[in-house]
Amino acid sequence: MATKVLAGVTVEVNEEGFLVNPADWTKEIAAELAKEEGIAELTEAHWKVIDFSRQSAGTSGAAPTLRGITSGSGVSTKELFSLFPKGPAKKVAKIAGLGKPEGCV
């Protein structure tokens, strides 16, 4: 498994840059992962989604689906796409330090 230095900390990442251990995650790491995804600054609206996703993942570390995020956090799908352009579920999972959403071949 590859390692990478994020916000001054060495962490394990998979081949797509997702954190291997959700416990390694910090807010500083989130900000750096966001930059990799083309999001220059994490606003309060971004954090609402990230915090919800970490909470929903709980101890299992499983990322919520897009539908899970919209129904659970109250942020609309449209808004999610403007906050995390293109694939929000995958981007949120990555920035929140969770695994890639399961179930894709």
> What is the contact surface with another protein in residues (CB under 8 A)?
15, 65-68, 71, 77-78, 80-82, 85-87, 90, 102-105
Tokens describing residue 92: 């949120």
In the three-class reduction of DSSP (H, G, I as helix; E, B as strand; rest coil), residue 14 is classed as: coil
Identify which of residues 8 and 58 has a Cβ nearer to another protein in the complex. 58
Tell me how crowded residue 80 is: count the other CB atoms within 10 A of its CB.
Answer: 20
- Contact predicate 29/21, CB 8 Å: no
Of 1, 40, 104, 105, which is the active-site residue? 104
CB of 81 to another protein, least distance (A): 4
Would you call 27 a catalytic residue per the annotation? no
Catalytic residue numbers read: 104
